[in-house]
Amino acid sequence: MTWKDNAAENRTRSCRGPTAWAIRPPRSPVTAPSCPVEGESLSGSGTRPRRATGPTAWIYMTRTRTPVYPLPCLPCLCTSHLQGIINLGVSENKLCFDLLQSRLTQSDMLRVEPALLQYPDWRGHLFLREEVAKFLSLYCKSRTALRPENVVVLNGCASVFSALATVLCEAGEVFLIPTPYYGAITQHVYLNSHVRLAYVHLDSEVTGPDARPFQLTVEKLEVALQGVISEGVTVKGLILINPQNPLGDIYSPGELQEYLEFAKRHELHVVMDEVYMLSVFDEALEYRSVLSLERLPDPQRTHVMWSTSKDFGMSGLRFGVLYTENQDVATAVASLCRYYGLSGIAQHQMAQLLRDHDWISQVYLPENHARLKAAHTYVSEELRALGIPFLSRGAGLFIWVNLRKYLPQATFKEEELLWRRFLDGKVLLSSGKAFQCKEPGWFRIVFTDKAHRLRLGMQRFRQVLEGRPHFRT
Ligand SMILES: Cc1ncc(COP(=O)(O)O)c(C=O)c1O
Is 90 exceeded by the pLDDT of residue 471? no
Select from 325, 356, 387 the last residue of a domain.
356
Determine the distance separating the centroid of ligand 1 and the alpha carbon of 73, expressed in angstroms.
15
In a domain, 411, yes or no: yes
At 50 the pLDDT is 34
Closest ligand 1 atom to the C-alpha of 320?
10
Q: How many CB atoms lie within 10 A of CB 390?
A: 18
pLDDT digits (tens, 9 = 90+) for 334-349: 999 999 999 999 999 9
What's the pLDDT band for 66 if we cut at 50, 70, 90?
very low
Does ligand 1 come within 6 angstroms of the Cβ of 335? no
Distance, CA of 111 to CA of 348 (rounded, Å)? 7
pLDDT of residue 52: 33
In this structure, the answer to whether residues 267 and 380 fall within a common structural domain is no
Q: Confirm whether 36 is domain-assigned.
A: no
Last residue of a domain, one of 338, 356, 374: 356
User: What is the 282 CA–ligand 1 centroid distance (Å)?
Assistant: 21
The reply to whether ligand 1 has any atom less than 6 angstroms from the CB of 279 is no
Give the CATH number for residue 274. Answer: 3.40.640.10
Q: What is the mean pLDDT of residues 105-122?
A: 96
91 close to ligand 1 (CB < 6 Angstrom): yes
Q: Indicate whether 284 and 419 sit together in one domain.
A: no
Amino acid at 294: E
pLDDT tens for 262-304 read 999 999 999 999 999 999 999 999 999 999 999 999 999 999 9
Per-residue pLDDT, 173? 98
pLDDT band at 470 (very low <50, low <70, confident <90, very high): low
Phi (first) and psi of residue 427, to 5 degrees: -140, 130
Angle of helix 344-355 relative to helix 126-139, nearest 10 degrees, comes to 30
Spatial separation of the C-alpha atoms in residues 46 and 317, rounded to whole Å:
29
Q: Do 84 and 232 fall into the same domain?
A: no
Q: Is the CB of 275 under 6 A from ligand 1?
A: yes
- The predicted model gives 362-388 an average pLDDT of 98
- Composition of the chain by helix, strand, coil, percent to 5: 45, 10, 45
Cα separation, 391 vs 174, whole angstroms: 29
SS3 label, residue 8: helix
Beta strands in 146-224 (DSSP E): 151-154, 174-179, 196-201
Let me know if residue 64 belongs to a domain.
no
**Candidate from 175, 310, 311, 444 with most ligand 1 atoms within 8 A of CB, to mutate:** 310
Q: Domain for residue 287, yes or no?
A: yes
Rounded to the nearest angstrom, the distance between the alpha carbon of 160 and the centre of ligand 1 is 10
Q: Please work out whether the CB of residue 41 comes within 6 Å of at least one atom of ligand 1.
A: no
* Residue 393 pLDDT: 87
Q: Which atom of ligand 1 is nearest to the CA of 276?
A: 1
Residues 334 and 205 in one domain: yes
* Same domain (yes/no): 299, 338: yes
Whether residues 399 and 316 fall in one domain? no
Q: Are residues 328 and 400 in the same domain?
A: no
Mean per-residue pLDDT, 352-373:
98
Q: Which of 88, 245, 400 to mutate to test the pocket of ligand 1 (most atoms within 8 A of CB)?
A: 245
**104 has a pLDDT exceeding 80:** yes
Q: How far is the CA of 469 from the centre of ligand 1 (A)?
A: 31
Say if residues 349 and 130 touch (Cβ distance below 8 Å): no
Ligand 1 center to residue 321 CA distance, Å? 12
Q: Is the CB of 241 under 6 A from ligand 1?
A: yes
**pLDDT tops 70 at residue 6:** no
Distance 392 CA to ligand 1 centre (A): 18
Nearest atom (ligand 1) to Cα of 160? 11
Any ligand 1 atom below 6 A from CB of 306: no
Residues 197 and 124 in one domain: yes
Q: Write down the pLDDT at residue 369.
A: 98
Q: Cα separation of 445 and 91, whole Å?
A: 9
> Is 248 in the same domain as 324?
yes
Rounded CA gap, 400 and 334, in Å? Answer: 36
More confident residue, 459 or 52: 459
pLDDT, tens digit, 9 for 90 and up, residues 240-256: 999 999 999 999 999 99
Domain membership flag for residue 201:
yes
Determine the residue of 73, 155, 307, 342 to mutate for testing ligand 1's pocket, defined as the one with the most ligand atoms within 8 A of the Cβ atom: 307
Is residue 413 assigned to a domain?
A: yes
| Ligand 1 geometric centre to CA of 241 (Å) | 10
Mutation test residue for ligand 1: of 275, 322, 435, the one with most atoms within 8 Å of CB? 275
Q: Is 302 left (phi over 0), alpha (psi -120 to 50) or beta?
A: beta
Q: Is there a single domain that holds both residue 387 and residue 302?
A: no
What is the bridge-based pairing of β-strands 390-391 and 196-201? Answer: unpaired
Query: In degrees, to the nearest 5, what angle opens at C-alpha 404 toward C-alphas 399 and 407?
Result: 130
pLDDT at 282: 95
Q: Where are the alpha helices (DSSP H) in 201-343?
A: 218-230, 253-265, 308-311, 327-335, 337-340
Residue 117 forms part of a structural domain:
yes
Angle between helices 412-424 and 451-465 (to 10 degrees): 130
Is the Cβ atom of 309 under 6 angstroms away from ligand 1?
yes
- 273: Cβ below 6 Å to ligand 1? yes
What confidence tens digit (pLDDT) does each residue in 12-65 have?
333 333 322 222 323 332 223 333 334 332 222 333 333 333 333 333 333 333
Residue 274 φ/ψ, nearest 5 degrees:
-115, 40
Same domain, yes or no: 189 and 253: yes
| Boundaries of domain holding 367 | 77-99+360-465
Clarify whether residues 408 and 351 are in a common domain: no
- Checking if the pLDDT of 375 tops 90, the result is yes
pTM value is: 0.85
382, part of any domain = yes
Nearest to 268 by CA among 322, 229, 219: 229
**Count of the separate structural domains present in the chain:** 2
- Is the preceding omega at residue 18 within 30 degrees of 0, hence cis? no
pLDDT band (50, 70, 90) for residue 452: very high
- Ligand 1, from 93, 132, 182: best to mutate by most atoms within 8 Å of Cβ? 182
Q: Ligand 1: which of 155, 157, 273, 322 to mutate, judged by most atoms within 8 Å of the beta carbon?
A: 157
Last residue of a domain, one of 332, 356, 380: 356
Instruction: Provide the percentage of residues in the chain whose pLDDT is more than 70.
Output: 81
CA–centroid distance, 184 to ligand 1, in Å, is 8
| Residue 392: CATH number of its domain | 3.90.1150.10
Mean pLDDT of the chain: 86
Q: Tell me the mean pLDDT in the region 141-158.
A: 98
Q: Which atom of ligand 1 sits closest to the CA of residue 156? A: 10
Nearest ligand 1 atom to the CA of 307 is 10
Q: State residue 76's pLDDT score.
A: 45
